[in-house]
Amino acid sequence: MPSANQQKTTKKFKCPTCETIETVTGAPGEHIIVTCPSCKTTGKAILPTTTDHTHHKDSKAAIVITHLKKMFGDFTAVDDVTFTVNTGEIFGLLGPNGAGKSTIIRMLCTLSRPSAGSATVAGYDIIDQDSKVREHIGLVSEKMIMYDDLTARENLALFGRLYNIPEPQLQQRINDLLTFVRMEKWADARIGTFSTGMKQRINVIRALVNEPEILFLDEPTLGLDPQSTSDIRDLIGKINTDQGTTIILTTHMMSEADMLCDRIGIIDKGNIVALDTPANLKKLVSGTDANVFEIQISNLTPHMITAVQASPAVKTITQEDETHIKVHVLGPGAFDTIIDLLRKHGAKVALVRNIEPTLEDVFLHLTGRQVREKVSETVNHRGRGHGPRRRQTSRVR
């Protein structure tokens, strides 16, 4: 523990078991074993190396965005966006490609200047104090930033030296990070020999070398195989719980956002159309007269789908495969209406399930279309899958 005349710094520690958040105080750069006061789980907190408290930081807000806007010529990429990210949370920006997610990240990371509005990151203004912002953040962009001819250790050291971290402290930090992602065995192997998943693990900890308060992850699992996707998701949760790092995650994967995020902002055409916890967002569908039914029809035909689609009770209908449809309906009598319509057209209904709304259903409810419509072209272009395989889905309405 630090002596009385040493400078002190603090860090938030989030318990991996019960999610209690504890403030830890100690010397800059100190490694402290923390015991959760609620459930007695132990974990490690690594305190920030900086003790600069000259800015006026809101202890509850890691990021504050006010009427932020970005224009590219006549095109509005981000349109009057306002929201706050709390310290210690995983905040998701969910939406299709082109919705404005990455543009928001670029502005918050001081890589692109806003056309209007303002934002503070870690208490610093992104325009007037851009260099201070960069000291307190880490960024994992959609494009992997690694040098294939260098080893994992050499890559991490290269980026660490950009922050002028003292060499002994930097080497210890690199060792800790390699152990953190179980990559110490490959520390001195060239990055070019790694699998894509191994590269991405190093790419993520590259953004942690400077011990950032806030970590930006822009589509961190895009293009990864299912196992690597699962590994990176586990790593994101571990960074947040073990180190108390605030994380801003952009994704178009509904399951990823639902699994990882404390709160989610759904973005469409540059606007935040909804912002809340995953559970509360789903209540936008389930908390109304809306229901989502999965219906299995052994003799499903396009004529049946058209008939259901024409019903005023139907908001959207999605054909999941050759025998399954998912119908989002409105009104207390909608179920009977749909079943009567199907039987009238000769449908052999084998199964009906009233299913819990997903974030995909929330997006449909808010925008009238699917996130996947805009995603499929990008994924196919990359020539590899993204996350777990899902049944092929075609949107009907």
Return the H-helix or E-strand segment holding 267: strand 263-268
What CA dihedral angle connects 32, 35, 36 and 39, to 10 degrees?
A: 160
Higher-pLDDT residue of 384 and 212 is 212
* pTM, two decimal places: 0.69
Q: Enumerate the β-bridge partners of residue 45.
A: 32
**248 vs 214: CA distance, rounded Å:** 8
**109 vs 33: CA distance, rounded Å:** 31
**135 vs 138: CA distance, rounded Å:** 8
Give the pLDDT of residue 167.
92
**359 vs 215: CA distance, rounded Å:** 24
Give the pLDDT of residue 31.
63
What is the crossing angle of helices 152-161 and 196-206, to 10°? 20
* Half-sphere CA count of 106, side-chain side, radius 13 A: 15
What CA dihedral angle connects 104, 106, 112 and 116, to 10 degrees?
A: 20
Distance from chain centroid for Cα 270: 17
State percent of the chain over pLDDT 90: 48
The pLDDT tens digits for 208-265 are: 999 999 999 999 988 888 888 888 999 999 899 888 899 999 988 888 888 899 999 9
Give the pLDDT of residue 114.
95
Mean pLDDT of 9-24: 63
